[in-house]
Amino acid sequence: MTSPLVATALRILALAVAAYILIRIGKAAARRLEREMSRGTGLDVIERTKRARTLGRILQKTLSIVVTAMAGLMILRELDLDITPVLTGAGIAGLAIGFGAQTLVRDVISGFFLILEDQVRVGDVAVVNGQGGLVEQVNLRTIVLRDEAGTVHIFPNGEVKTLANMSKDFSYYVLTVGLGYDEEVDRAIEAMREAGASLIDDPDYTPHILEPLDVYGIDAFEPGQLVVKGRIKTVPQKQWVVGRELRKRIARLFVERGIEMAKPFVTLRTERD
């Protein structure tokens, strides 16, 4: 016959293995969800993938915490330890957190609505409280950004006052060109549109562009220059790639056609006694 000690050890081992299997199943299910939502073509696939990645990570963390806590309590019972004080202590700790850790509760509630309303997802480029970067994590308590210099910025969700998502659904690259007052504006606008059209015809950039370049015309009169403004619609996070190439092609066409951009100048005034 199996001794009670061995039987207890086997039950504890079975609980630990079951908890590990449940956590692994949860992770596999989250990855499967992400793969299923990433199927197909079109712009909505990118958005679904971001949302699935964000929700998957949160579900994995939540499942791991819940399963680990339940397995721990069940193991304590198998060891003939009274878990009533543990549960009572957990209740008291919950009340203490509710009264004493209001900031933490505010962060969690804000994070819940942040995720529920799909305001920002892992993989988005966003500006949080004036700081821009790539969203690496969206947790119930914090948002983690990494800027272009590699610096990681962590914002408690309750402290997020302003949030600008630069890569949700679609993006625009806004372009401004300064021309001298004696330059032919119509000729410059035509060159800009031709540069945009050549970009759409390029197979390396066609998948990134949703609409042709829209040139508004003269947007402002400034000292020494006329400001011509336009924008081009792209898929999320590709506006900078498209915009840099567009600027390069516009500059090349301007040189070929003798269109001069505005040059900085300084006016000196002298007076005699």
Give the architecture-level CATH label for domain 4-100.
Orthogonal Bundle (1.10)
> In a 10 Å sphere around its CB, with 0-12 CB exposed, 13-18 middle and 19+ buried, how is residue 84 labelled?
exposed
Domain spanning 120-165, CATH class: mainly beta
CATH number of 171-256: 3.30.70.100
pLDDT of residue 244: 94
Digitized pLDDT (tens) for each residue of the chain, 273 residues in all = 456 777 777 777 888 888 888 888 888 877 777 776 666 555 566 666 666 677 777 777 777 888 888 887 777 777 776 666 666 666 666 655 555 557 777 887 888 888 778 888 888 899 999 999 999 888 888 999 999 899 999 999 989 999 999 888 889 999 999 998 888 899 999 999 999 999 999 999 999 999 999 999 999 998 888 999 999 999 888 999 999 999 999 999 999 999 888 877 666 677 776
**Token output for 183:** 């330059």
Tell me the CA distances in angstroms from 260 to 154, 243, 250, 253, one per residue in order: 45, 20, 11, 11
Q: What is the pTM of this model?
A: 0.63
- List the chain domain ranges: 4-100, 120-165, 171-256
